[in-house]
Structure 1
Amino acid sequence: MRKLYSSIKDINPKTRNWKVKVVVAEKTMARTSMQSPTKYMRLILADSQGNKVQAVIFNQREIDMFDQLLHITRTYYIHNAIVKPIKPEHRIVDNVYQWTINPTTLIEEISNDDSSLPAPSFNFVPFTELHKHMDYSALVGLSLSTRSSSSFIIDPRIPEAIALQTWATEKEKQLNEIITEKHYLTASSSSLALIIENITEIALIVTLVQTVISISTSYYSFFCLD
């Protein structure tokens, strides 16, 4: 019989016949490893105490199988995943171990349980504060882009998502008008003037680069001859 542990922290490579109740906090799309053509999918699992662990699924066949079973914000019992240490440079949560989920791992969804774990919390950033998270080393304006670790959650069962859906339903008419008339593409004359003032012609940039190269070459020649 498997022993039920309440904390992810209690699970290590020596633990046998274990199971833990966890909620899926994050799930990435399938990716290809940089070191090999192997496909993998990464998940973040959390317990009732807020402890987290990285989990990984390898190979497209197994990814397809578990992708249909494991959903973000849902609660599960997970039995006997493979537990191994994870290198510090690969850790994204405070746990020295990583779980590998494979066909021998048993997973039970807990759907009708009053003690199901709460949905994971997120640190949402308002649009008005996005500038605080900008990459100023490559500043060409404010935009959003994804990286290899980015993931999308569609209709998560969290209060913020429910509130947003309610707001969108109440403002459906206004939102449809904005989309149809494309007001968001119209810039004010003052904004447009500001944009034009900050435009630099490519020809001027080329001239500046050539000038810098010329000065550098002259300096280098003088330095060597002296």
Structure 2
Amino acid sequence: MGKNINMYHFAPTDTFYDVEEFINREIDDERAVTILEEDLLASNFLNSEQKNAYNLILQTLLSNESDAFFIDGPAGTVNMRTIYRSIKDITQNTRNWKIKMIVAEKSPKRVAQNSPTKNQNLVLMDVEGNRVQAVIFGKDIDLRDDTLNVYQSYYIANAFVKPLDARHRREAYELQWIINSRTIVENIEYDESPLKPPDYNIIPFNQLDIYKDTDAEVDILAIAMSTNAPRQVNTSHGKSLVQDIYVIDSSVKVLRLAMWNRFVHDECSEICNIIMEKPIVLGTKIRVSSYNGLSLSSRPTSVFTIEPFLASAISLRAWATENNSLLEETIAKNLDRPGASTPGSSTDLLVKISEIVEALESIPAMMV
């Protein structure tokens, strides 16, 4: 073989190391790192699952025990992020941001006229009341189907921030958020206070006259009583689809609410499916018209929330339950009138207030 062990220059057997030299180099390097105060406070920004893992590992270390842990998480979920209070501080260049938001509005899934891709629009609101328009596209809608519920609070991070075309802007904030598969949406902690829902300027039906045929966009809260079938009409913009829903509020006034085009396919369809339950409908940015005396109509910017979880809606439901027999009588009068279920009916379906005022004199009006 011709080889000798001395040719390989192994370390001498009499080499002596003191205790310091037995310390692992990586541990030594870690001990030399200066720990910043912000790093010491980083555990305050962990979500519930991260916090559980952190506490378990820390407890094992402090108890001088040995154990093995496997940590797995989608990219981005374990990074420390700066928590903001205002959306005004979040721009296209902001990185590693996180903010507590409440879902103020959420539309049904829709398909745009010039695109086959589904979209779902939301309005999110921060703790200061600032609002941002957000949108989800395509398959990401189904991924978020069980979250981002109206009036629920969440922590949102990593949304794609981009400028919003002024033609589509409905809020003061000039940017739009795209919520996609990379966006992180977390529930707030069970013991954490949720954000306050939006404030609405609900106008009782008996106070709507001053808004007739103006540019005013009013908010209403009412009980859906009955519906007509959808019908196609000719307008200055061409053919349009419209469906009438007859609603009543606590001022005991019945009005026709005309729902146009995209609202017919989505919100009207949902209302019709539960009409026997007398669903409560919140409508915002509604137009008030003098057509047939007084009527309501949707605008392209209108938003409808069915059975909203609001204190005023809960009060209206209690009022409706207490006066259920009166509501049933009113609905019956509507349905008994000729043409009540035909598309062409209009004011024939309206109940005269004088017919039920006497029955209501002993019932206190509910404040919305």
TM-score normalised by length of structure 1: 0.73
Percent sequence identity over aligned pairs:
45
CA distance in 1, matches of 2:160, 2:112: 19
CA distance in 2, matches of 1:39, 1:85: 21
Question: Alpha-carbon deviation of 1:80?
Answer: 0.7
Instruction: Judging by fraction of residues, say which structure has more helix.
Output: 1
Letter in 1 for 2:309: R
Aligned residues: 188
1:66 is the counterpart of 2:144: yes
Q: Which moved more, 1:135-144 or 1:4-13?
A: 135-144
Instruction: Determine which structure has greater relative contact order: mean sequence separation of CA pairs < 8 Å that are 6+ residues apart, divided by chain length.
Output: 1
Q: Bigger radius of gyration, 1 or 2?
A: 2
CA deviation profile, 1:93-148 (whole Å, cap 9, x unmatched): 11011000011111112262342101111121211233333347986323323344
Q: Which moved more, 1:105-114 or 1:117-126?
A: 105-114
CA distance in 2, matches of 1:154, 1:90: 24
Letter in 2 for 1:129: Q
Question: Alpha-carbon deviation of 1:149?
Answer: 3.0
Question: Alpha-carbon deviation of 1:152?
Answer: 2.1
Question: Of the candidates 302, 322, 334, which is equivalent to residue 170 of structure 1?
Answer: 322
Contact kept in structure 2, 1:29 and 1:151, CA below 8 Å: no
The match for 1:81 is: 159
1:18 is the counterpart of 2:122: no
Cα pair distance change 1:131/1:29, threshold 3 Å: farther
Contact kept in structure 1, 2:110 and 2:120, CA below 8 Å: yes
CA deviation profile, 1:55-76 (whole Å, cap 9, x unmatched): 01112x2223324311111100
The match for 1:156 is: 308
Gaps of 5+ in 1: 189-226
Contact kept in structure 1, 2:330 and 2:351, CA below 8 Å: no
Question: Alpha-carbon deviation of 1:185?
Answer: 5.0
Q: Secondary structure at the match of 1:78?
A: strand
1:161-200 to structure 2, matched below 5 A, reads: 161-182=313-334
CA distance in 1, matches of 2:125, 2:352: 45
Letter in 2 for 1:179: I
CA distance in 2, matches of 1:19, 1:169: 42
Instruction: Judging by fraction of residues, say which structure has more strand.
Output: 2
Question: Alpha-carbon deviation of 1:30?
Answer: 2.2
The match for 2:339 is: none
1:70-219 to structure 2, matched below 5 A, reads: 70-110=148-188, 112-135=190-213, 140-141=291-292, 142-182=294-334
Cα pair distance change 1:51/1:36, threshold 3 Å: same
The match for 2:262 is: none
Cα pair distance change 1:187/1:16, threshold 3 Å: closer
Contact kept in structure 1, 2:121 and 2:135, CA below 8 Å: yes
CA deviation profile, 1:182-212 (whole Å, cap 9, x unmatched): 4865669xxxxxxxxxxxxxxxxxxxxxxxx
CA distance in 1, matches of 2:214, 2:170: 24
TM-score normalised by length of structure 2: 0.47
Contact kept in structure 2, 1:41 and 1:58, CA below 8 Å: yes
